[in-house]
Amino acid sequence: MEQTVETTTKRKRRRVLPPQTVWPLLFTLGNLVAGFAAIHYAYKGDEWQGPWGWTGLTMAGALVFLGMFLDSLDGSVARLTDSVTELGAALDSLADLVTCGVAPAFMVLALVSTYLGDDGKLILLGPDADLPWGKVVWGIAAVYVCCTALRLARFTVETAPDHLLEDGVAFHGIPSPGAAGLVASLILLHQHVLANGTDAQWFAQAYAFGIPIVMLCGALLMVSSIPYDHFVKRYLGRPQSFKFIAYVAIVLFLCIWWFQATVAFAFVAYALSGPIHAYKNRKKLVQEI
């Protein structure tokens, strides 16, 4: 009898998820799988040739953006189905850590290793270790992953469990999808330039070595307190002027002609918008004092 009572109590303690809760979780898991697949294709590097002549890094960048798209949908689906849960928030952070943290860092290591390591592999320890710059890039990638984890943990702690329903239009520090998009878009542009037969090998190499520096800046921006706009809530969730529609139309036309360059420029502009606005507000405050 006592065992029956204990078994019944344990069953009551188990939380049963309502059916509508499953849908946002599926989008979040799709984000996680996209990040995992991005790591897989980044490992293949330039040796793998996929559809449309895509390299492994190009496919990895596309999968990172797919994960970011799925990440943007899970919140909307949770609102529509009224199924915002603590489980979904925790799972979302774990998925973002893979897609927006580990995958972009691995992409940078794979890109730089094509210029430093033998057979496209970096050796970090032992007598056959590569140049110090390879170790520096690995350290930057590790810092980026750590900063992504800290950014996601801080966001989870500082917001309520139903953070998907909050009315705020600003983040403290650049969000992890913004930093991941910054790194992934620059790598996609690099692969696009190489695919179009550029003869300036020195430029491609210098470009590749500059991306880890940008990634380090993105890592520091994630753990900073600089405010960043919530793009969806600020520009898509509010009435906008005719000027905003004209800007969107211009960006869409630029994407048709120069997709990789336009996307990279957009993420660079978003990353710089936080420090620029913070500097302007600080300068204005000093003038008022």
pLDDT at 165: 37
pLDDT at 130: 59
Give the number of other Cβ atoms within 10 Å of residue 273's Cβ.
Answer: 16
Q: Residues in the chain with pLDDT < 70? A: 1-20, 83, 117-131, 159-169, 197-200, 231-242, 283-289
Give the number of other Cβ atoms within 10 Å of residue 194's Cβ.
Answer: 17
Nearest to 56 by CA among 94, 95, 109: 109
pLDDT at 127: 46
pLDDT at 205: 84
Q: pLDDT by residue (tens digit) across 235-260?
A: 555 566 667 778 778 888 888 888 89
Which helix (H) or strand (E) segment holds residue 229: the answer is strand 227-229
pLDDT at 126: 47
Percent residues over pLDDT 90 in the chain: 36
Q: What is the DSSP letter of 127?
A: T
pLDDT at 214: 96
pLDDT at 117: 59
Please give the biggest Cα pair distance in the chain.
81
CA 221/CA 181 separation, integer angstroms:
13
pLDDT at 163: 44
CA 142/CA 106 separation, integer angstroms:
9
Q: pLDDT by residue (tens digit) across 271-286?
A: 999 899 888 887 665 5
The whole-model pTM stands at 0.83
